[in-house]
Each structure stands twice: as C-alpha cells, then as structure tokens.
A and B are shown apart, each in its own frame.
Chain A
Amino acid sequence: MSALLKGLSSVLATNLIKFESLFISNRTLQFSVKSVSAPKNYFRLGQPAFSFHSSVSRRGLEEFFDDKKNWGELEVKVGRSWRVDELRIKSNEDLHKLWYVLLKEKNMLLTMEHASQEECRLFPNPERIDKVEESMNNLERVVRERNRAYFLLETGETGERPCSRVTDPLGRSYTMQYTEHFVPIYMNRRASKKHVHRGAAVVRFRRQMKEKAFLEKKRYYNRVRNHVCQLLRRFPELDEEAIQQQYPEVNLTRLRRMKYSRGHHLYNEG
C-alpha cells in the first residue's frame, strides 16, 4: 500500500495515517472487551471509531482461530480466489471491507498453521493461504488501477512511487525506487554525489562479470543444443514445429546434420 501513497495530496496522506490508527484502536477495543479493570473511555476513541466495525462477530482473540468444528479435520473445502474481473465491478467501499475480511482470514490461517505445527497436527488445505494472498494481490491491483486512472487524468502522472535505472560504483545497473526527502536533490550532498566508475579494480571486476554472464549464456545454449540433439536421436520423426516452439534458439537443419543427433536405427539407414 505504501507504494500507492506517494503522490497523494495532503488530505489523503494524513487520512491514511488516521485510518491505520483507527483500525488499530478498533482492534484493541475488540480484544479488550472482557477486561473489567480498564477504566471508562480508556482508549479515548472518537465517534467514528466506535461506529465503524470491520467485522460482524466480535469474539476477541478467538477470531485468530478457525471454527471449532474445523479443528482436527482432514479437509476444509473452500472455493477459488477472487479474480481481477470480479473485483473491478465492486465499489471502493466493498473493496475496503473485503480487504479486511481477507486480512483476517489470512491471519486466522497463519495462526492455525502455526498452532497445528505446535501440536504436531495436520493443517488441512494449506493452499487456502495462497488463495487468500492471490485475492489480496488482485484487490491491490484493482485499487492501484483506479488510483492511477485518477492521477493520470488530474495530474498527468501515475501518482505511483517513481523508480529509475541506476548504476552502482561497480558499474552494475539495477532498478532503484525513489525515496521522499524534505530538501531538493541539489541540497542533498549524499544524493547529488556522482559516482564515477573507474579504477583498475572496477574495470577488472566489470570485465569478469561480463565474462561470467557470457559463459553462462554459452553453457546454457550448449545444454539446449545437446538436449535437442539427443531428442532427434531418440525420436527421429518428431514434430519439428513442436521442438522449434519449445526451443526457438536452435537451428534444427544444422543439428540434423550433426553426427551426434543420428541414432542407430532404420531412419538413418542409407
């Protein structure tokens, strides 16, 4: 979510901080319902926090665990994850609610997994965790799409955290995400310092890196070529289109001529 926050106007950025604290306090409220010793108005919550509940049932810490009827089961059946198309037709409010439903489910599953490990029991259907995570990723993608559309329309920028290709002192290039600063770049001594990639050691290092990459590529190609030769040897009448689709880098007509790819069978007689 933090990536989404960049570029938000002041209103939103602070609102989100407020949101988070709100959820935390809401949760604290839930889990401390049973404690009698807490004085009245201990948590000092405003009206909106009281009125908002992300969940219907409030069972305290029990919410971290699954239903008791699922304990010790060998199989707990659930459906598939939410798809992007299904999430796109939902309003922001629905997505917001769904996010917390999913988050709570994920917390519950991870707790159950840990608990069953502690007890040396089987955790039924561990793929449920992946399903929830997939749903959450899809949901985040949809929210991002909407925010991108808004910012592109209003400001002409995506509103996402910018990144660019940079090179480190050893001359290796990689993608780096930008960070937020109070001063512009020319006032920031550390950020504005130029790293010049020179020196015998750096030159040697870069040459060896290049050589390593080259050798890896060459070895990879040789491996593929040998494999295709062996395939031609074993299956002389195989579908050339199929093999070309799977290994587009090999030259089949050339490999056919190699002695390595000719087997001892009738196909090669005469």
Chain B
Amino acid sequence: MPRITSLLKCVADMTKKSSNLPESYIKRAMERTGWKTPSAVQYRKVQLKKKKYKFSVHRPWTQEFRDENWPGTQSPKVFVEPLLDWTFFKGDRVELLTGPDKGKQGIVNYVVQERNWVIVEGLNCTYKMLGEEFNYPGMMIKDEQPLLVTTQVTLVDPSDNKPTKAEWRYTEEGEHVRVSVRTGRIIPIPKQAEETPDYKTKSTYREQEKDTKESELTRITFQPKLKTFEMDIAEKMGIKEDRIPRKTFWYPVQHQDYEYEY
C-alpha cells in the first residue's frame, strides 16, 4: 500500500521516467477532485479528492486512467508484492513460466511497475470478436495481457538463452549493473528502455524550434561578483539610486483579524 499522503509516490519511477513528463504535470493530470467549495471568502477551503487510485495498463495522465478513476467510485483493493529492486525493462528478453505460452520467449514492450506487470510482445494474448453482425462474421482482435514479474515471467540469460533470476550488483569499477544470478553474467539494459514519446535515445533527440541550442546551454557566462542579483542588474541597466530608506523593523504580528479588540 503506497502512502496515500503523497499522490506522486503512488506513481512508479519507471512510469515517470518513460513518460519524460514533469512530476507536477503527472500529479495535475491524474488528480480527481469530486467536489470543492467555491473560491470565495465565506467558504472554508475544502476539497473532496479521490485518494485511492486504480492502476492498470493505462498511464496516469491518460483519459483511460481518468475513466477508470471516477471520483466517488471504488475498485477492489489490489495487493502488490513489494520488490526491493526492479529488474525488468522495456526491450528485455523474457521467458513465460505459466499460461498457454509457457516456455516461450519474447520481448517486453510495456512495463507497469505499479502492479509488477510486464507485457510481452505477441504472447499471453486474448482473442475477441468485434463487430459481429448476422451477415458479417466480425473481426478478431488480439490483445496482449499483462504478466506478473514475480511468478509468471523470468529474465533470460544472454549467454545461454536460459531463464534466470537477476539482481543488481556493483562491478569492480563501481558500475551498477544487472547480473544473472545463475551464471554471474551481466545482462545489459536494452536501448529501448531509454525510449520516451519525445525521443528513442537521448543522443538522437532532435532539437525543436523552441529549444535552447546546446552550445548556448553549456556556455559559462557566470562570473562571481560581490553583488546581489538586483545590484548587478541595476548597474548593467545604468540605474543609480542614492536615496537612503527609513529604518524598518521586522517582527510577526499575529491575529490581524482581531482588530476590533482595540
């Protein structure tokens, strides 16, 4: 059970990273307020917010997530096994341990860390007919279903293509790497894990029109001076000020609205 006090803690790190969205936006987009008092003086500020959110394959900022989490609705509680380290990434080769596709290997194409789920490309599918009519047989839709990383799926060791458990260790150079427990071989993190809607890899990001150019971004223009920000700017703009202000005092004044007492 994630702490309810912080909404953003409910959203997993993998989700935040793969979205490339600012956290404040994720929070703003997923929040559902059922009712709140009008913004006027006579009202106490009260909000009825949805506290428990249902996480499924839909990302928290999508309309599907909003539809699943109407304020005032409740979904059955889900118990998610806490894991110390997350070892599954997009682009990983995994082997299925259960279901009709047991023993088959596939590539992870979607990770839902909030539920300990991964979706494997083309495996563990459901089929349903869509648009059936009396003179038209309909269309079959194939839909990949999520798999639990704790029991239904394991990583594959790249050295012998056999299933193995993985854990995080440090190399002698101090690098944090994912290692196959059975053979001790490093399982590299695939390039696809870096992918976001904005770019495939960080190095191949194409600069947009409004972006600051990298040469401009990395240029060092700061020079330490014994001036505050305001003094520096005033000097740059040729503003001179010689007036001496009156001495003022800083202290707290409580209960400003009790003025009628005096």
Which A residues lie at the B interface, using CB under 8 A? 4, 6, 8, 10-16, 18-19, 48, 52, 77-82, 86, 88-96, 105, 126-127, 129-131, 133-134, 143, 146-147, 150-151, 153-154, 159, 161-164, 166, 168-169, 176-185, 188-191, 195, 223-224, 227, 230-231, 234-235, 238-239, 241-243, 245-246
Contacts and interface: CB of A to CB of B under 8 A. Distances in A.
Interface of B: 1, 20-22, 24-25, 28-29, 79, 81-84, 150, 198, 205, 207-208, 210-212, 217-223, 226-234, 236-239, 241-246, 248-255, 259, 262
Nearest to A87: B222
Given A168-B254, A238-B82, A241-B84, A89 B222 contact: yes
A234 B81 CA distance: 9
B81 A178 contact: no
A77 B242 CA distance: 48
A182 B249 CA distance: 6
Interface SS of chain B: loop
Given A78-B210, A227-B1, A245-B84, A180 B248 contact: yes
Contact of A235 (B81, B245, B246, B248): B81
A159 B229 CA distance: 13
B217 to A, nearest CB: 6
Nearest to B245: A10
A89 B221 contact: yes
Contacts of A184: 249
B229 A180 contact: no
Interface SS of chain A: helix
21 contacts: A14-B245, A19-B233, A78-B210, A89-B222, A91-B221, A92-B229, A92-B232, A93-B236, A94-B221, A150-B227, A166-B252, A180-B249, A181-B251, A191-B252, A195-B254, A234-B81, A235-B79, A235-B150, A239-B82, A239-B83, A239-B84
A88 B22 CA distance: 21
A87 B83 CA distance: 37
9 tightest Cβ-Cβ pairs between the two chains A and B: A10-B245, A127-B25, A130-B25, A242-B84, A91-B221, A79-B211, A130-B22, A92-B232, A178-B250
B99 to A, nearest CB: 20
